[in-house]
Structure 1
């Protein structure tokens, strides 16, 4: 019996991995332009981090985490999301004391959630995320949103929609919580067991329920926007103003609550409007999480961030028929005729590689015609042909595969003359 890949995971093969590398390089470059620095956190953390950071009423904690005990009896969890680990590291390493504030971070990280696999959604997936800690300026909310919107646009996505909401501050959420409890309590028995459990702990989570989304009480539930106090309302208006200043179109959706307990004030999602993308259209989600740093043992510190799935991004690119300009061309392929020439091309290939060129040669002992076919498959810019006779004359023939032009150059100055052919 052959061993197959676990359900909900995938192999990223050559030909696909170059697409991932291109996306990652774009995200890294954009993060640099916005002055975000990379952080890398462990693949697994203490389970308590996610219980406290994500919230024990969330689907992630209740149903989706991969949790295990190590040999010391410690409860550990494979990372299901990126914000809590970054905030844990921020607190543990006292980054709140750094001279440059706010602390602006980005990450690429593998995440693990036990959920039903479907198109573009896996149990192991890769997330690109950004976190900005230490500023309560609504302008940084707009900056974080603009970063991810620009990433999608620079990669070629056009059919995307930004949806935003305000979840308010503590006072606003308390007033909204009371209204939701009064609204749902009389008929809570008509809802699923998860919603019944959330009524007392966090009634806002009911609005995010997938099972009962069509229930009539969902449509008439009190909107958080009706309970924003003056400060929260002014904050949200400022965020919207900055987005308008940046010419970023958005839609306000008062039912948007996100799936994690730590959000407050600004919450947002970016969705694909591409035809045939699928029922689950969300590409990216994020928001402000003032209070999370304190919950994890740090000083009072505001924060905002987002996370996006690379797999979902690639699915959206496919839905819009976007082809990324991935560079796969080989600079030089060596064709050798004779044993001495074959041996010599080992050194020539290394010389080019050390100067930054991509180079390859035959390792299958193939005939000359088959070697040229291999060069074609590898999309070689140049093919360098060396035989034993040419080796004695210290010459090598280099063919430009685009023009067909052939040039004989000296082996003694091969790298320098090859560089001139590239110009």
Structure 2
């Protein structure tokens, strides 16, 4: 019989790697709380129409990449390919957007049926951060400051660079789009296949092409900032002033764009040179037009999303994180009385030392067998309880990761001894 394996592009995260994820999630929660952002938990499955409205029916994501199916009622449902649309749907449904300011974040798996490669999977994990009800550039700056603090606390700030741009308003972008289409049509023979396909449906995305053969053509293209009104220019200038004041280093990248009409003004990306082609670690910006597009009353909205897999790839010395989650001690117990009294002793230790990571041998076995299990567990100490120790209320202590000698303690001495270890 053929073995069932994981679906291509969907990966198991095994116990020897989960400490890296737990570390990032722990730092994430702490940083979000320090800025007053509250967690919202959203469904994995939404009505397909939500993503058609938010992402656009002619985009690659909707046309080719979504996991869409009919349920038993005949409704078209989709595994979420991103989190912003679901977050807005929840806020609209529960009345969280009316004359309110909300700072929210969420985390979890997203799904896209695209070609798997390093840093890009069919089930991938994102953290999204969204702020609603604030139109000024100070909230855009806050999101950048929050993400910058996250990089510092994770120890990866030196690996990531910030790029920013402004898209102006939808009206300003409309005038620019016409000039851009005229320019690229005049150079149609130099466009690659992707760019030709985007010329009518999504011409701004041509500016984001990663094809090196397109670089000179894109660099000579009309610039959006030439089409901006005074209000959009002032919004962007204020953002730069706020970032300068906070000593945030950035580069203005005029080719940094978003392909959908509901994006406006601020866009930003944190990028790295260390992950090959998948260099964007975090992407964000203002999307004031999306709420109205989903059927709500127009309101200010801005946010960002970051990829957990890519972030974890950038961690320094992640093996230290893995080791930090290993057991402090493994309790070896041989004999009927040792098993009975060992179970009680283990619970007493956990009660008194809540941070102690203690594995208790189960399933019997000789001393030799249990020592092998203790060693394989990665524990620092082996705690040895045989029939003699159980009778005399003693415990043997053997260091499993060093050459230090074995010793025997009374069980009353064990708590302060372990306290010093943890």
Same fold (TM over 0.5): yes
User: Is 2:351 the partner of 1:350?
Assistant: no
Cα 1:192–1:57, aligned 2, differ >3 Å: closer, same or farther? farther
SS in 2 for 1:95: coil
SS in 2 for 1:214: helix
Residues 325-369 of structure 1 deviation map (CA, whole Å, 9 limit, x = unaligned): 452242332122322212321222233334423221222433324
User: Is 2:84 the partner of 1:83?
Assistant: yes
The count of corresponding residues between Structure 1 and Structure 2 is 415
Residue pair 1:177, 1:202 contacting (<8 A) in 2 also: no
User: Is 2:187 the partner of 1:156?
Assistant: no
Q: 2:308 aligns with which of 307, 310, 317?
A: 310
Cα 1:194–1:416, aligned 2, differ >3 Å: closer, same or farther? closer
SS in 1 for 2:28: helix
Deviation at 1:198, TM superposition (A): 4.4
SS in 2 for 1:56: coil
Residue pair 2:202, 2:259 contacting (<8 A) in 1 also: no
Deviation at 1:103, TM superposition (A): 0.6
Unpaired runs of 5+ residues, structure 1, are: none
Partners of 1:322 and 1:290 lie apart in 2 by: 38
Residue pair 1:287, 1:306 contacting (<8 A) in 2 also: yes
Cα 1:24–1:62, aligned 2, differ >3 Å: closer, same or farther? same
SS in 2 for 1:116: coil
Partners of 1:132 and 1:323 lie apart in 2 by: 35
- Superposed counterparts of 1:235-384, under 5 Å: 235-258=235-258, 260-274=260-274, 277-317=275-315, 325-326=321-322, 327-355=324-352, 356=354, 357-384=356-383
Q: Which piece of structure 1 moves more, 16-25 or 151-160?
A: 151-160
- Superposed counterparts of 1:229-240, under 5 Å: 229-240=229-240
Residue pair 1:55, 1:262 contacting (<8 A) in 2 also: no
Partners of 2:357 and 2:76 lie apart in 1 by: 47
Task: Tell me the equivalent position of 1:131.
Answer: 130
SS in 2 for 1:96: coil
Task: Tell me the equivalent position of 2:226.
Answer: 226
Q: How does the TM-score come out when normalised to structure 2?
A: 0.89
Partners of 1:278 and 1:196 lie apart in 2 by: 25
Residues 347-394 of structure 1 deviation map (CA, whole Å, 9 limit, x = unaligned): 222333344232212224333244334334434344332222232233
Q: How does the TM-score come out when normalised to structure 1?
A: 0.89
Residue pair 1:91, 1:296 contacting (<8 A) in 2 also: no
Partners of 2:377 and 2:166 lie apart in 1 by: 52
Partners of 1:77 and 1:191 lie apart in 2 by: 33
Partners of 2:98 and 2:416 lie apart in 1 by: 54
SS in 1 for 2:328: strand
Cα 1:399–1:81, aligned 2, differ >3 Å: closer, same or farther? same
Partners of 2:405 and 2:37 lie apart in 1 by: 46
Deviation at 1:144, TM superposition (A): 0.6
Cα 1:236–1:195, aligned 2, differ >3 Å: closer, same or farther? same
Cα 1:258–1:323, aligned 2, differ >3 Å: closer, same or farther? farther
Unpaired runs of 5+ residues, structure 2, are: none
Task: Tell me the equivalent position of 2:111.
Answer: 112
SS in 1 for 2:177: helix
Residue pair 2:46, 2:78 contacting (<8 A) in 1 also: yes
Deviation at 1:153, TM superposition (A): 2.5
